Structures are given as C-alpha cells and as structure tokens.
Structure 1
Amino acid sequence: MHPTPPTPPTPPANAPVVRAAGCVLWRRSPLDGTLELCLVHRPKYDDWSFPKGKLKHAETDLAGALRETLEETGHTAAPGAELPTQHYLANGRPKRVRYWAAEVTGGTFTPTDEVDRILWLPPAAARARLTQPRDRTLVDALLQALRLT
C-alpha cells in the first residue's frame, strides 16, 4: 500500500499572484527548413522548459516575455499569436505565466548560471524533452497557431 502524498498548502485567498511571461521560440532549421523549438535547461532545477521569467514592475507581459527570451537564449524574436496562459503554484504561491509564439530573428546563445544549455528540437522531440507536462500543451498550441496541425 502506498501512502497518500501530502496535499500542497493552499495559498491564502489574498496571496498576490506571481506574474511571469515567456515565449515558445521557434525557427526553421538551417539544414532542412523543418520547424524547431527552443528549449532551455536551467541547472538550478535541472529541467527543460520554454524561456520565461517574472515580470519587472510596470513591465507589460509581452515585453517581459521578449526580455526573458533574450536573456535566457541570447535570441531576439518577433512575437506572434498569444498561446494559452498557465496557472499553477510555485513555492506555495499562485503563478500566472502568459506565453507567445515567437519566431527567432537573430542572436547567439551564451551559457549563464541561469541557463546553461539550449536545444533546438522538432516539435515531437521538444514535447518529449519538456520536464513539466503542462508545457507540452504549448507545443500543440504553437502548431495550431502556425497552422501546422
């Protein structure tokens, strides 16, 4: 018999929502023109995800998404369709992350303490590599936004 896992604490009803934003960064492969998505590896969490981060004071969600994408991947991007917003608890606090599809327009990745690696993967491989199951829905949403489904 397996013990029931503990229920995470419920944040107070008035707990401020952590606002964050990010991008599902995509490009056409320089080798064969197929679609590739950019995943970032965060050594602090040892996970693979899409570039995202907390917003600065008075920063718009889209501006924050593009800033975080540039900071984490070294790439500039042209924003496209807004993708589904994610809501979840992070460290016991409610978090809201808005995402946009974004086509890479330039740049070069340089490893940092926050993001030490990036991968450009086809959609199926990206879906399989993502650590959080909730992020996999963003792959499908991007394909829909690009009308590739």
Structure 2
Amino acid sequence: MNGAGTGTVLAAGCVLWRRCGRVEIALVHRPKYDDWSLPKGKLKRGESARAGAVREVLEETGMRCVLGEALPTARYVVEGRPKEVHYWVAEALGGSFEPSREVDRILWLPPAEARVWLTHDRDRPLVDAFLKSSPSGV
C-alpha cells in the first residue's frame, strides 16, 4: 500500500489516547513545520496502513499502542500531490517519549483542549470522531 501507481502519498496515523484520571490524547510538535498534529506518517513500501499507524505512533511518541475503531480517512494535497491518511483510535499501552528531529515535543491534553491546539483544521474532525467512538467511556 504505497500509492506508487497512483501518485497518491499514502500515510497512516492515530488519535492516541490514555486515561490519567481523565482521558487525554497525544499531540506531537513537528519542528520542520512548527505545527501540532496527530501522530502520523508515510507508509513504507508494502506496509499495511494498520502496521504503519502502529509504527508511526511508536516512532513519534515512544508509545506502544493497540488499535481500535477506524476513523475517517483524511484526503488533502501537499506540495501538489494528493495525500491519503488512514486513521484509527489507539490506546496507549506504555512507553516513553524521546525528542527527535522529526518530533521534538509531545502534549497529552483533554480532547477539547487538544482540538484547540491542533494547527490544521483538517485534524479537528478526527478528534470529533474519536469522541463519538467513546473508547472506554470517554
């Protein structure tokens, strides 16, 4: 699933959540773009979207996760190329964040606050869909 024949960039990501007395979701800061977004990234050649979503969460947040319900697929254009990002709800199982060139900060925020922090309007409906999915009584 790499989109090579279509010219479409294929990616996957998650609305990563945890319960710390309250439900919080993870946002990552990407210094290259100076933005706050959900963990996501391009699929490797031959990689399934599910496997890519789990890998990207681990690489960007340091968290192991278990995927839950599929969320809406985001479609938009980046640098003149169509991009398609498959998303899932994902529960954080543990791990620890290590800053990198790609992601230098992570925030765990209640969904309503995270929605405000997101840089791109296209990410907000994913938080809304997460809330509708009601993982573990959100």
Matches within 5 A, 1:1-149: 16-29=7-20, 33-146=21-134
State the TM-score, normalizing by the size of structure 1. Answer: 0.86
State the TM-score, normalizing by the size of structure 2. Answer: 0.93
Structure 2 residue matching 1:41: 3-state secondary structure = strand
Between structure 1 and structure 2, the one with the greater Rg is 1
Structure 1 residue matching 2:94: 3-state secondary structure = strand
Q: For structure 2, which runs of at least 5 residues remain unmatched after alignment?
A: none
Identity of aligned residues (%): 61
Give yes or no for contact 1:40–1:115 (8 Å, CA) kept in 2.
yes
**How far did residue 15 of structure 1 move?**
5.4
Q: Which amino acid aligns with 1:100?
A: W
**How far did residue 146 of structure 1 move?**
1.5
Q: Moved runs in structure 1, 4+ residues, more than 4 A?
A: none
Give yes or no for contact 1:83–1:138 (8 Å, CA) kept in 2.
yes
Q: For structure 1, which runs of at least 5 residues remain unmatched after alignment?
A: 1-13
Residue of structure 2 equivalent to 1:6: none
Give yes or no for contact 1:15–1:93 (8 Å, CA) kept in 2.
no
Cα RMSD of the aligned pairs, angstroms, is: 1.3
